[in-house]
Amino acid sequence: MNKIKGYIFDLDGVIVDTAKYHYNSWRTLANKLGFDITEEQNENLKGVSRKESLEYILSIGGISFSDKEKIKLAELKNSWYVESISNMNDSELLPGALNLLKDIKAQKLRISLGSASKNSVRILKSTGIYDMFDAIIDGTKTTESKPHPQVFLMGAEALKLQPEECVVFEDSINGVKAANDGGFISIGVGSETTLNHANFVLPDLSGTSVKKIEKRISNMYQILDK
C-alpha cells in the first residue's frame, strides 16, 4: 500500500453545497422558457459541466437552440448563479470540511481541488479556504468532463504525485467513476447506496481526520491481501 500524500476534493457537495444555487438558477432559466424542473431532476446535474447541464435542461423542456443561443443561455444562468453566490462566506462550508483541510495541512500533505466548476476560485476565496490549496484544477482547465478522470489526473500531476498516492473525495456517481478509472482511492461523500462504487463512503466530512482515513485505507488493503 502506498502512503497517501495527496488529498483531492470535489467542490460542490463535498466542501460547499452550491447545488441549491445551481438549481435555483437553472429553474429560473427553465421557468423563463416556459417549463419547470424538479429537485429530482436537479440531482442529475450534480458534478455535470455547465454546458452539459444546459443540454439536459433543454431536453426536459423539449426545446432546441443554436450553439450561439446556447452560449447566451448558459451565460445568463451563470450570471444569476454568480449573483446568488456573491454573499457566500465560511458559514457555508459543509460539516467537517475545514477541520479536515486544516489537519491535512498540519501534516504537511498536499491538497488539490478537482471540480467541474468554472467559479471555483470565487467560491474558495469567499469561504476563506483558497490559500489551503496547493493546486486548483477546475472547469477552466479541463477539456473532459467527469466520468473522464482528467480533472483528477491533472490534480495529481499538479501535486507531483501518482494517482495511487492520492485520495479523491466525491459526492457524485460520475466523480467516483472518474476517480476509480484514474487509479485513485475514491471516498464517496453522501449516500452509501448511491455511491456504492466508491472504495468507501462517509455521510459527510465531520469527525474524520487524516489518521482515520489512513486507517480505513489500511484496513481495506489488509482485507484485500488476505
- Which residues participate in catalysis according to the annotation? 10, 12
Pick from 155, 105, 165: which is nearest to 129 by CA? 105
With residue 111 as reference, give the H or E element that holds it: strand 110-114
- Name the binder of 96 from Mg ion, ligand B16, none, CB < 5-8 A by kind: none
Q: How far is the CB of 47 from ligand B16 (least distance, A)?
A: 4
- Name the binder of 165 from ligand B16, Mg ion, none, CB < 5-8 A by kind: none
Binding site for Mg ion (CB under 5 A): 10, 12-13, 47, 171-172
Residue number with CB closer to Mg ion (69 or 192): 192
How far apart (Å, rounded) are the C-alpha atoms in residues 200 and 90?
27
- Name the binder of 25 from ligand B16, Mg ion, none, CB < 5-8 A by kind: none
Q: How far is the CB of 31 from ligand B16 (least distance, A)?
A: 18
- Name the binder of 117 from Mg ion, ligand B16, none, CB < 5-8 A by kind: ligand B16
Residue number with CB closer to Mg ion (12 or 103): 12
Q: How far is the CB of 215 from ligand B16 (least distance, A)?
A: 27
Residue number with CB closer to Mg ion (78 or 162): 78
Residue 163's contacts (CB-CB under 8 Å, 6 or more residues apart) are: 152, 153, 156, 182, 183, 184
Contact 111, 104 (CB under 8 A): yes
DSSP state of 48: -
Sign of the Cα torsion 31, 39, 202, 160 reads negative
Binding site for ligand B16 (CB under 6 A): 10-13, 19, 22, 45-50, 53, 78, 115-119, 139
Residue number with CB closer to ligand B16 (47 or 190): 47
Angle between helices 19-32 and 67-84 (to 10 degrees): 130
Q: How far is the CB of 223 from ligand B16 (least distance, A)?
A: 30
Query: SS3 of 128, please?
Result: coil
With residue 113 as reference, give the H or E element that holds it: strand 110-114
